[in-house]
Structure 1
Amino acid sequence: MTDTVTVSPASVERVMGDHWVNDKGTAFKNPWKTFTSFGAMEVMKIIPTMAWKAWTNKDPAAKNAKKLIPHIRPTYGLDLPSTELKVTWLGHAASLVEMPAREDSEKGLKGRGVRVLFDPVLLDVIFHGVGQKRLSTNVTKIDELPEVDAIAISHNHYDHLDLPSLKAIFANQKSKFGKHPKLFLPLNNYHVVSGLGLGRENVIEMDWFEERNVLVEGVGEVKIACTPSQHNASRVGWDKDNSLWSSWVVKDTSSNASVWFGGDTGYCITTEESHSLEDLTKEVCPAFKEIGDRLGPFTVGLIPIGAYEPRALFSAVHAAPIDSVRMFKDTKCQNAIGIHWGTFQMTYEPFLEPPERLRTAAQQVGLKEDDFVVVALGETRGYTV
């Protein structure tokens, strides 16, 4: 049976936010002191460090990632109780979330919950087959995905919005299940996906803190909220920040289950390569506390932990684990899974380092060992709500 997916209209009129550069919604910025765009002089200072790291980067873990990064074939939680919130990590930021099933035979509701797929980059090479190669095991084929009700994209960088992956997913979902998932994007990204032929009614662009209800007939209902992140956007260089970037919230309307998907984000600016809390700036991006205060707490967060070295260059846009654990606390996550690591070699930290730094960082801020974890590629974690 094909499940009809209905998205509610926006509940409030869109207004120009302080992250808008113009009144048309076609240019955006990070409106916080914790973000900076590097000028030519700053980049020139960092180039020698980058060149040295590129020349000397002989990380054996990256070369042997298929053996060293734990992986299993995903079952998407078929062996877990249908009443649990289920989260499956598929590599980099790609994650599938399934809300708890609403068991109600009188209303004909299915034994599964609403499913949302985040940032699905599921092929082996990004950027139309000529970009970075997946180093760890690709644990799923697109035709093995279960029925998906919605897809949410954090921003339009190629390692998060992969048109070949999306094209294949939509074709497969239509063929197997008779429908296209609804596609949720931050503002002014429709032009990137217009060639997919989805129809404007299947693509929903949203601004920060806008919310939509998504009703899946016979399955359930969730509220999807577009939330801030500290990042940027570009597909071709000269379109820098013409499209918005975001994180996402999904809340089940019939239970307390909720997810915050961090996508790709920075947290603060630092010129220190130190990962010690005492060495870092006390000024951090306020958006994450605002997310927690307005929409939290969350059952689980999917929080980036990789692609951070050198910190002087990447701290404004990519979180290191010491940033990730503080975002965990700011957003009021009750549990978290580390994403955005162990898949592509984006930057110069050792390939296996992020989980090690996460364990140390969690201790620094007083988290328990199982509060914020890493999982195997393809692994599904269930959460009782």
Structure 2
Amino acid sequence: MPGSDNEPIPTRLRRRQLGALLAALPWLGGCTGGGALHAGPVSDHFDGQRFFNPGGAGPRSLLELARWRLGGQREDWPDAYPSPFPPDRPPPRVAGRALRVSFVGHASFLLQGAGLNILTDPVWSERASPFSFVGPRRANPPGIAFDDLPPIDAVLVSHGHYDHLDVETLARLWRRDRPRIVAPLGHDATIRAHDPSIAVTTADWRDAVPLGPGVEAVLEQVHHWTARGIGDRNRALWCGFVLRGLGDGVFFAGDTGFDEGRPFRRVAERHGPLGLALLPIGAYEPRWFMEPQHMNPAEAVEGFRLLGARQALGYHWGTFRLTDEGVARPAEDLAGALAASGLEPARFLAARPGQVLESATRG
């Protein structure tokens, strides 16, 4: 029978290689047709058809993807990687300038402050994939049960890869709370194709979107790319977000390569020292493939230094198996990078689902 131990070894190897390739396609945007289609004027990062990283690298080709997935060496992951923190049960609201941050998992955070409840890249689905039967599967449950979420006022979506833009979760949030959903240019098409009733605010780099009294989200340029299928690569934009008026300011980087530090220098120049940086530290091996799109922990530490932020939380690790490094290696490499840099380890934590950070403001 197919997949049994009686299969010839070459057949089993081919089957495993094909499975590995299919498992990588969803988050890399090479699996299905259709997706976001943006039309607008030419700019310094849009050629009239596709967006690009000014002065930077584009996404890897499908041939390079195949080379990685069929020939790479993956470190083992356990079936489950439970968090040491119990599931969080957040309060309904956090008033004033205090900030409460709860880590849900992967790139999903609940940010509470100024009376607002804000989610970043919310994913409550079991897989980061367009399919229910293949693709990266959760190694731990969300750090907040969906039913324990307080009323959500705003949702920030950084780009369209399946581990960041989860249309099922967005639809659940929309049906329940009618939050303001903010995304870079083009992603309204993807979200509304799933549910035409959902209202989406799209914006360009450097645009500011008000979220509530005294709080706005500013879309910032980072070095990445996006796709939902083979034919829509970079037909929509990607971004990080600076949240002004929330605590002492928060930078959520979404996904980004280090890009010689330029994303972090830009944010520091435009916004000054911020209270909190949320930075990705995982999905970085092999470096020949991942370097343009995902930082490793040493680069994240250098980005934190360039930002001049007071505190950082590392995410994008330990929940979905996307790349070749082992489940715990991002946290281990982060500890080594902090030691080499001389930074106090408590200033940059590798977040685990259910973990909560509460901070007061400078003034």
Question: Relative to 1, partners in 2 of residues 1:48 and 1:250: Cα closer, same or farther, differing over 3 Å?
Answer: closer
Identity %, equivalent residues: 28
Query: Of 25, 30, 35, which aligns to 2:53?
Result: 30
CA distance in 1, matches of 2:247, 2:68: 50
Query: Of 91, 100, 104, which aligns to 1:86?
Result: 100
Query: Of 152, 159, 172, which aligns to 2:156?
Result: 152
**Could you state the TM-score of these two structures normalised by the residue count of structure 2?**
0.81
Whether the 8 Å CA contact 1:77–1:86 is kept in 2: the answer is no
1:323 counterpart = 2:343: no
RMSD: 2.4
Matches within 5 A, 1:39-188: 43=64, 47=67, 51-54=71-74, 57=75, 59=76, 61-66=77-82, 69-76=83-90, 83-99=97-113, 101=114, 113-128=115-130, 129-130=132-133, 131-173=135-177, 180-188=178-186
CA distance in 2, matches of 1:20, 1:314: 23
Q: Which amino acid aligns with 2:206?
A: F
Question: Relative to 1, partners in 2 of residues 1:39 and 1:332: Cα closer, same or farther, differing over 3 Å?
Answer: same
- The unaligned stretches of length 5 or more in structure 1 are 1-13, 102-112, 174-179, 269-283
Kindly provide the CA deviation profile for residues 196-239 of structure 1, in whole angstroms up to 9, marking residues without a partner as x: 2345xx32111111112222xxxx43011001111101001110
CA distance in 1, matches of 2:92, 2:333: 32
Which residue number in structure 2 is paired with residue 262 of structure 1?
A: 253
Q: Secondary structure at the match of 1:65?
A: coil
State the Cα distance separating 1:146 from its structure 2 match: 0.5
Kindly provide the CA deviation profile for residues 73-100 of structure 1, in whole angstroms up to 9, marking residues without a partner as x: 112267988752111110000011112x
State the Cα distance separating 1:36 from its structure 2 match: 4.4
Runs of 4+, deviation exceeding 6 Å: 78-82
Whether the 8 Å CA contact 2:152–2:173 is kept in 1: the answer is no
Whether the 8 Å CA contact 2:84–2:352 is kept in 1: the answer is yes
May I ask how many residue pairs the two structures share in their alignment?
319
CA distance in 1, matches of 2:297, 2:249: 22
Q: Which amino acid aligns with 1:315?
A: E
More displaced 10-residue stretch of structure 1: 298-307 or 363-372: 363-372
Matches within 5 A, 1:184-199: 184-194=182-192, 195-198=194-197
**Could you state the TM-score of these two structures normalised by the residue count of structure 1?**
0.77
Whether the 8 Å CA contact 2:268–2:306 is kept in 1: the answer is yes
Q: Secondary structure at the match of 1:238?
A: helix
CA distance in 2, matches of 1:37, 1:84: 39
State the Cα distance separating 1:143 from its structure 2 match: 2.1
CA distance in 2, matches of 1:123, 1:203: 20
Matches within 5 A, 1:194-233: 194=192, 195-198=194-197, 202-215=199-212, 220-233=213-226
CA distance in 2, matches of 1:221, 1:83: 10
- The unaligned stretches of length 5 or more in structure 2 are 1-39
Whether the 8 Å CA contact 1:298–1:334 is kept in 2: the answer is yes
Whether the 8 Å CA contact 2:59–2:225 is kept in 1: the answer is no
Kindly provide the CA deviation profile for residues 15-34 of structure 1, in whole angstroms up to 9, marking residues without a partner as x: 85421122xxx52001124x
Q: Which amino acid aligns with 1:291?
A: V
Which residue number in structure 1 is paired with residue 318 of structure 2?
A: 342
Q: Secondary structure at the match of 1:260?
A: strand
State the Cα distance separating 1:309 from its structure 2 match: 0.4
CA distance in 2, matches of 1:64, 1:98: 29
Whether the 8 Å CA contact 1:70–1:376 is kept in 2: the answer is yes
CA distance in 1, matches of 2:169, 2:93: 27
Whether the 8 Å CA contact 1:184–1:204 is kept in 2: the answer is yes
CA distance in 2, matches of 1:344, 1:40: 21
Which residue number in structure 2 is paired with residue 106 of structure 1?
A: none
1:248 counterpart = 2:245: no
CA distance in 2, matches of 1:40, 1:226: 29
Question: Relative to 1, partners in 2 of residues 1:16 and 1:36: Cα closer, same or farther, differing over 3 Å?
Answer: closer
Question: Relative to 1, partners in 2 of residues 1:248 and 1:51: Cα closer, same or farther, differing over 3 Å?
Answer: same
